[in-house]
Amino acid sequence: MDIYKQLRSVQAELKAPKSQYNAFGKYKYRNAEDILEAVKPLCVKHGITLTVSDEVIFMGDRFYVKAEVIVVNDSGEMVNTIGYAREEESKKGMDGSQVTGASSSYARKYALNGMFCIDDTKDSDSTNDHGKSAPASKSSSKPSPKAEGEKTTLDKAIEYMKGEKDRQKAYETVMKHYGEEFDEKAIAILKKFIR
Convert the pLDDT of each residue in 53-65 to its tens digit: 999 998 888 888 9
Q: Which of 58, 56, 61, 80 minimizes the C-alpha distance to 69?
A: 80
Q: Which amino acid is at 124?
A: S
Across the chain, mean pLDDT equals 79
93-123: pLDDT as tens digits:
666 677 788 889 889 999 999 999 998 654 4
> Which CATH architecture describes the domain 3-127?
2-Layer Sandwich (3.30)
For the cut 70, the answer to whether the pLDDT of residue 147 exceeds it is: no
Q: Categorize the per-residue pLDDT at 92 as very low, low, confident or very high, splitting at 50, 70 and 90.
A: low
Rounded to whole angstroms, the Cα distance separating 132 from 85 reads: 5
Give Dmax over CA atoms of the chain in angstroms: 62
Q: How far apart are CA 82 and CA 116, in angstroms?
A: 12
Q: Over 90: is that where the pLDDT of 34 sits?
A: yes
Dist CA 176 CA 170 (whole Å): 10
Confidence at residue 173, expressed as pLDDT on a 0 to 100 scale = 79
Cα(135)–Cα(119) distance, integer angstroms = 20
Is this model's pTM higher than 0.85 or not? Answer: no
Delimit the domains of the chain by residue range. Answer: 3-127, 153-192
Residue 24: its pLDDT value, please?
A: 82
So what's the pLDDT on residue 148? 41
Q: What is the pLDDT of residue 171?
A: 79
Q: Looking at residue 91, what is its pLDDT?
A: 62
